[in-house]
Amino acid sequence: MATLYKTFIVNCSIQKRPSHVSDNSRHYNLPLFPAFKPLKKVLPEVPLQIDDVKKTMSKTAAILLDAFVDSFFEFIDQPLLPSQSNFAPVVELGEAIVVTSIQGQIPDDFPEGVYIRNGPNPLFGGLQSTNSIFGRSSYIWVEGEGMLHAIYFKRWSPGIWTVLYNNKYVETDTYKVEKQRSKPLFLPAIEGDSPAILSAYLLNWLRFGKVNKYISNTNVFEHSGKFYSVAENHIPQEIDIFTLKTLRNWNVNGAWDRPFTSHPKKVPGTGELVTFGVAATKPFAVVGIISADGKKLVHKVDLKLNRCTLCHDIGVTQRYNVIMDFPLTIDLNRLLRGGPLMKYNKEEYARIGVMPHYGDANSIKWFEVEPNCTFHIINSFEDGHEASYLELEVVVRGCRSLDSLIPGPDPSLKEFEWLSRCHEWRLNMQTGEVKERGLCGANIVYMDFPMINGNFIGIRNRYAYTQVVDPIASSTQDVPKYGGLAKLYFEESCAKFSMQRNREQPEEPIRVECHMFEKNTFCSGAAFVPRDGGLEEDDGWIIAFVHNEDTNISEVHIIDTKKFSGETVAKITMPRRVPYGFHGAFMPISFETQ
């Protein structure tokens, strides 16, 4: 989740623990002017001397700044509770490992490809805090350098599969700096005492030209046949999907120069990619559209927001972009006044904006909604007449909470209010009316990290899937743990599973079917995998990394979405422990050219 957050963000986990290893694991590489002539002998020497002086001064300043930080800032490992053991980082494998332990059977019509999940994996043993003459500052749970975990599925013949596992850090610019010097360098600049955060901002900028690390730990997406790792405090990094090697930063041929949402969306029909970047200084929010071939930024517009709202996701429909402007904000002025840099304030306004894909700030139609924090949109689509605004509604569904888990929930709030539930907003484009409701009614099902069949992004869909929160296991550390999965039936009520709901969308809670794991077992990075040749929206599987905290063993589970509450189709035991992380994706790929 988280992720969220990130010019100003951070990921999870902590101290180094032994990995689950197999001594006999096999390793594989996966196939990257004339009167002035006398002066010419003299003048060139002057710039060279000036350059030498500048370099010397710059080097001296860097040495002095490093010495200041080393003398007045103490880095301290943040300890982990026993219940947080699988938030601890692991080491890189270096090479892919063949996976041999499979319970059940991978279906024959399961597609070849790679299931890949991103997540935080902090360097140097875990998350850091600092003590200094300015006070204390800490990285928050969503911070940590990104690490990719990938499972490759290669089918040789019916029932015969080769399954490989690999992991690798995303080598961002700041990762390389710290890795080269083999110690933490960037000072935490998100949470803590105001003077400490301000000094961290300044010192990070003076030393590295950046106020925060580039973490690239939240999501993985594909566009025009290329694959990218991303977190919204920086631009994406292109990766080699077969080796997980970081290839380059992706700035759309120099046209995109600001943060990039972790959840860009493809426009239905055109294949254009809609992105969104938030920053702590104006312009606070910018929307961009990238061509279907990924080579050109075809539209870029400042939304002219008057605050930096920490928007993690963006929605699309066939004609519109959907903007979430909710009261989780980054405010430098608030920090200068001694308040927190990041804060959720339920007394401030919350609104959803609907704008044409190629619109500007003046074209946005804003809808005031109840204050909330929604990191993830399930889907958005148009419902009603397609030719005009008349009777047209834009429907937005998401995972909504009444508080923010980043940087941390308000301890004075009611129990579990920081956990999210499935919610719907219906926005009337003619009247401006908003209808919103919890889709699960009185049924208390906390959920997040939604996923749908990717062919239905931006259009009306019948099904969605989420990770289900175990509120008891989550309450001891203010970090969600997901003890199961849910299938949401938007067109069926929970009272009458077989009856399709009508266009008026009656108020009965929707049907929710759950697939729960055994005790002390939790998942992360779940993704929908369409069945090869499947014709129906829910024809496929959910695939997820799953970890049993009692045995300390990690697995990958494959669950048939047509028999969702039934037995798991296949359980693939990982040769190494896989820490909890954020978003996953399944990418169909061909191994023939490798």
Q: Is the dihedral of CA 199, 203, 204, 209 positive or negative?
A: positive
Q: How far apart are CA 247 and CA 426, in angstroms?
A: 42
Task: Name the β-bridge partners of 102.
Answer: 572
Helices (H), 403-508: 471-475
Task: Name the β-bridge partners of 252.
Answer: none
Token couple for 460 = 């009306």
Per DSSP, the three-state class of 455 is helix
- Looking at residue 31, its amino acid is P
Asked whether the beta carbons of 274 and 357 are under 8 A apart, the reply is yes
Tally Cβ neighbours within 10 Å of residue 61: 12
Contacts of 521 (CB under 8 A, 6+ apart): 483, 546, 547, 548, 549, 550
Q: How far is CA 93 from the centre of its chain?
A: 23
Look-up of token digits 């493809």 = 266
Q: How far apart are CA 219 and CA 225, in angstroms?
A: 16
Comparing CA positions, the residue from 547, 562, 479 lying closest to residue 513 is: 562
Sheet of 342-344: strand order equals 308-309, 328-330, 342-344
For helices 194-208 and 45-72, angle between their N-to-C axes, nearest 10 degrees: 150
Task: For residue 376, say whether it is annotated as part of any ligand binding site.
Answer: yes
- Looking at residue 443, its amino acid is N
Q: How far apart are CA 419 and CA 474, in angstroms?
A: 9
Asked whether the beta carbons of 143 and 9 are under 8 A apart, the reply is yes
Token couple for 419 = 């956990």
Helix (H) or strand (E) holding 464: strand 463-469
Comparing CA positions, the residue from 121, 130, 120 lying closest to residue 201 is: 130
Asked whether the beta carbons of 582 and 575 are under 8 A apart, the reply is no
Give 240: exposed, middle or buried? Use CB within 10 Å, 0-12, 13-18, 19+. middle
Q: What is the largest CA-CA distance in the chain?
A: 97
Asked whether the beta carbons of 559 and 538 are under 8 A apart, the reply is no
Task: For residue 312, say whether it is annotated as part of any ligand binding site.
Answer: yes
Q: How far apart are CA 1 and CA 406, in angstroms?
A: 9
Task: For residue 149, say whether it is annotated as part of any ligand binding site.
Answer: no
Per DSSP, the three-state class of 201 is helix
Asked whether the beta carbons of 118 and 582 are under 8 A apart, the reply is yes
- Looking at residue 498, its amino acid is S
Q: How far is CA 479 from the centre of its chain?
A: 15
Distance in Å from the first CA to the final CA of the chain = 33
Helix, strand, coil percentages in the chain from 3-state DSSP, rounded to 5: 15, 35, 50
Q: How far apart are CA 296 and CA 390, in angstroms?
A: 34
H, E, C per residue of 28-64: ECCCCCCCCHHHHHCCCHHHHHHHHHHHHHHHHHHHH
Detail the residues annotated as belonging to a binding site.
263, 312, 376, 583
Detail the residues annotated as belonging to a binding site for Fe cation.
263, 312, 376, 583
